[in-house]
Structure 1
Amino acid sequence: MYGTLLALHSLTRWLVLSTLLFAIFGAYRGWLLQKPYLKFDNIVRHTIATVAHIQLILGIWLYCISPVVAYFLHHFGTAVHERAIRFFGMEHITMMLIGITLITIGSARSKRQLNDQQKFKTMAIWFTVALVVILSSIPWSFSPLISRPNFRPF
């Protein structure tokens, strides 16, 4: 179960990143080109929030059953000094919670804006900050700090 959930969480990251980039592109396009906020834009806003929350559920579930996290929690004094263990036990989950919170706030605030340009501007700013936070905390295969495969097999 752990391996399947880990692969699913890893795969879903690409869905989060692609929908977030699509939403950001659309938000900047609408904001800077003074486009009307269409039903499609609202669907995109809602979709990224939904995909991010699905990833959050998978991540929390994974956090609860992870042997790495279990080691971190049971041996905190020594584990906090081990980069890879600390990353998954504390840093990754904290930054991802912040990123998903930013997406949620941006989505909710955008929905409540009165004019189209404010809706796009709110989405653009909040989602961009969320993207930066998320990108900084993914264990990329090329990262010198903590490295994991970009695609995990099931």
Structure 2
Amino acid sequence: MYVILLFFHSLVRWLVLASLVYSIYRGRRGWLGNRAFTKSDNAIRHWTATISHIQMTIGYLLYFQSPTVKYFTANTRQALQQIDFLFFGLIHIALMTISVILITIGSSLSKRQETDLEKYRTMTIWFAVALLIIFIAIPWPFSPLANRPYLRHF
């Protein structure tokens, strides 16, 4: 089960990133171009938040099955001194949870704005901040905090 969750968590990461980048692109284009907020824009906003919630659910399931996290919780004092355990036991989950909360707030606030300009601006700003946090919290192959491959395999 752990390997399957790890694979899907690795795969869905790319959907989250792609949907956020596309949402930010659409939001910035609409905001700066003073465009109407269309049903497509609303669907993109909604699906970006939904995909991030799916990823967070997979991530939490994975978190509670992870041998790294189990070691972290059983040996917290020693694990806090090793960046790999600290990253996955605390930093990754905290930053990713914060980013999904920001996406959720941004999506909700955007939906409730009065004007199209406000909808685009709200979506763009909240999603961009969340994306920045996500980029920091992903264990990229080149990350000094913890590195993992771009895509996990079975």
- With normalisation by structure 2, the TM-score equals 0.99
Cα drift, residue 146 of structure 1: 1.3
Residue aligning to 2:60: 60
The 5 Å alignment of 1:29-44 reads 29-44=29-44
Residue aligning to 2:114: 114
Residue aligning to 1:129: 129
Cα drift, residue 142 of structure 1: 1.4
Query: Could you tell me whether the CA contact under 8 Å between 2:28 and 2:120 is conserved in 1?
Result: yes
Cα drift, residue 28 of structure 1: 0.3
State the number of aligned residues.
Answer: 154
Residue aligning to 2:21: 21
Cα drift, residue 145 of structure 1: 2.5
Residue aligning to 2:73: 73
Cα drift, residue 110 of structure 1: 0.2
Cα drift, residue 143 of structure 1: 1.5
- With normalisation by structure 1, the TM-score equals 0.99
User: Where does structure 1 lack aligned partners over 5 or more consecutive residues?
Assistant: none
Cα-Cα RMSD: 0.6
State the AA in 2 paired with 1:101: I
Cα drift, residue 41 of structure 1: 0.3
State the AA in 1 paired with 2:150: N
1:10 equivalenced with 2:10 (yes/no): yes
1:100-128 superposed Cα distances (whole Å, 9 cap, x missing partner): 00000000000000010000000010000
User: Where does structure 2 lack aligned partners over 5 or more consecutive residues?
Assistant: none
Aligned-residue sequence identity (percent) comes to 49
Is 136-145 or 101-110 further displaced after alignment? 136-145
